[in-house]
Structure 1
Amino acid sequence: MKSPTDSLVKYDTPVQVTKNTEKKSAKARPLNARLEPPAVSGPAPLSPKSQATPGETQEILNVILPPRVWLENNQCWVQQVSSAPCRGRDVVRLQEQLDLKLQQRQAKETGLCPVRRELYSQCFDELIRQVTINCSERGLLLLKVRDESRITEDAYRTLYKSSLAFGLRKILLAEHEKSDMDKKVSDLENENKDLEKQLNELMAKREAIEKQAAERQKADEKKRTQEIQFFKRMNQQLKVKPKSYQFLCCLSVMKIIS
């Protein structure tokens, strides 16, 4: 494990863990109790009923913010969170560091940003550390608030991922349905083209039949007109000719008709 990166949470100087310390029995006091906390100074102390000893405060801090452990050059290093009392200027310095790191790491001002979330989480942990030093009960209550907010955030993240997966499934299903619909549309278009081709052929046949019928009708009308004119002429001739001539004309007409 590499050495931890810089954090907004204030830590003590790293301490090297020797092999003898690693081999101590489980009954020995934990590491956070063996390391001597810095001397308490600064704000007015709490009432005796709520004030915790430096060792107890350090243990509570180690529960809230576990020590950082890493290997470097085959040596184990431990760095506990600082139990030094905080003052008003520490909060101002924390605000300045937060703004500086947001600019250095180019965190987004709006929307989802892992960098901004990480930095604000470190800032909140540092505030919990400062409050815990003055009042351990408030620190533990803030720890519950922090854990609850993280649980809620994880729940929303899980919900977002599941909704994203559901949306992707719906998109894939829609794409599959779209491909089927496109194939169906293509088949219908081809069928429509075939039907249009058949329709054009039938219309061409209809036009040809209508043209033939019109020509036949025209020829029949012309023939009937000629016959009518012939009979009219014969009728006129029969009116002015003698009966014998009429008889001969009738015979010729009968021969023509037959």
Structure 2
Amino acid sequence: MAASMIPANVSLVRYDNPVLVTKHAEKKTPYAKDKTTVPVPPEGLGPVPTAAQSGLSKRPGHGDAKQDTEEVLNSIIPPREWEEEGGQLWRQQVSTTPATRLDVLNLQEQLDMKLQQRQARETGICPVRRELYSQAFDEVIRQVTINCAERGLLLLRIRDELRMTLSAYQTLYESSCAFGMRKALQAEQGKEELEASIAQLEVDKEELLRQVTELRAKCDQIERRAQEQRQAEERKHAEEIQFLKRTNQQLKTQLEGIIAPKK
């Protein structure tokens, strides 16, 4: 069934029904259409009408214009391919059906619904929101390209420029994050070194404080001994002075005693 052939990642871009390219993976062909491709019609719609049945072959130049539109669309939005069990390779090209006003409204509703279903953020960086808006923009480009290929190619340039700008900003953001991480690691490494240095300085400080305490104790002891020695010397000098004074007084008395009788 056609419904089971569609890839799991359903896009907002409108695609044609998938076609069977080959039954074996080794016979994979390029994006160009193969004459052996088997179109898979949607369920309940019957066989796909041929060009003669649809009357397109009766209109001169219609096939060439459609082919040119397909080529432009395939260059803007490449066909997607996937392989299923059994080696069957399927391809699905972007639809060339013009969009109506109802399709545009439906696209808007689907975009809002998918934004809500996938819980996309309304503000800030959100990969989900960016992906969905990119798909919606691709669908708008598809719709415009079908009506005017030149306008579609101009929108393609705008899309590629936006993607290039976003990619540049993303690269800059990633490099900034990497730079910030390196700086953070360097700062963390420097912090560890500083903490080790601080710990060593604290140990040195404690050792110096211990030495200061010991030296102060020694200094106090030396000062105490010096003061005791000075006091002892002062007492000794005072005693010597008193002794000399007494001796002098005795000698003076004796001298006066010797001199007095002679008078």
The question of a shared fold, defined as TM-score above 0.5 by the shorter chain, is answered with: yes
Q: Alignment partner of 2:10: what SS?
A: coil
Residues 180, 3 of structure 1: CA spacing in aligned structure 2 closer, same or farther, 3 A cutoff? same
Q: Could you tell me how far 1:177 is from its partner in structure 2?
A: 2.6
Aligned pair partner of 2:119 in 93, 99, 106: 106
Q: Deviations over 1:10-54 (max 9, x none)?
A: 11222223459x96999xx6249x878999xxxxxxxxxxxx822
Aligned pair partner of 2:17 in 13, 17, 34: 13
Aligned pair partner of 1:130 in 106, 126, 143: 143
1:78-97 matches, within 5 Å, as 78-97=91-110
Q: Does the 8 Å contact 1:10/1:82 carry over to 2?
A: yes
Q: Does the 8 Å contact 1:9/1:81 carry over to 2?
A: yes
> Which residue is 1:189 aligned to?
202
- The amino acid across from 1:61 in the alignment is L
Aligned pair partner of 1:3 in 2, 7, 21: 7
Q: Does the 8 Å contact 2:23/2:89 carry over to 1?
A: no
> Which residue is 1:30 aligned to?
33
Q: Could you tell me how far 1:166 is from its partner in structure 2?
A: 2.1
Q: Alignment partner of 2:120: what SS?
A: coil
Residues 214, 2 of structure 1: CA spacing in aligned structure 2 closer, same or farther, 3 A cutoff? farther
The Cα RMSD (Å) is 3.5
Residues 197, 222 of structure 1: CA spacing in aligned structure 2 closer, same or farther, 3 A cutoff? same
Q: Could you tell me how far 1:97 is from its partner in structure 2?
A: 1.0
Q: Could you tell me how far 1:240 is from its partner in structure 2?
A: 8.2
Q: Alignment partner of 1:91: what SS?
A: helix
Q: Does the 8 Å contact 2:15/2:95 carry over to 1?
A: yes
CA distance in 2, matches of 1:83, 1:167: 48
> Which residue is 2:160 aligned to?
147
> Which residue is 2:68 aligned to?
56
Q: Could you tell me how far 1:121 is from its partner in structure 2?
A: 0.5
- The amino acid across from 2:133 in the alignment is Y
Residues 76, 242 of structure 1: CA spacing in aligned structure 2 closer, same or farther, 3 A cutoff? closer
Q: Name stretches of at least 5 consecutive residues in structure 2 with no aligned partner.
A: 40-47, 52-63
Q: Could you tell me how far 1:219 is from its partner in structure 2?
A: 2.5
Q: Could you tell me how far 1:174 is from its partner in structure 2?
A: 2.5
Residues 56, 98 of structure 1: CA spacing in aligned structure 2 closer, same or farther, 3 A cutoff? same
> Which residue is 2:78 aligned to?
66
CA distance in 1, matches of 2:170, 2:13: 25
Q: Could you tell me how far 1:237 is from its partner in structure 2?
A: 7.8
Q: Does the 8 Å contact 2:22/2:28 carry over to 1?
A: no
Q: Alignment partner of 1:77: what SS?
A: strand
- The amino acid across from 1:155 in the alignment is A
Q: Name stretches of at least 5 consecutive residues in structure 1 with no aligned partner.
A: 40-51, 247-258
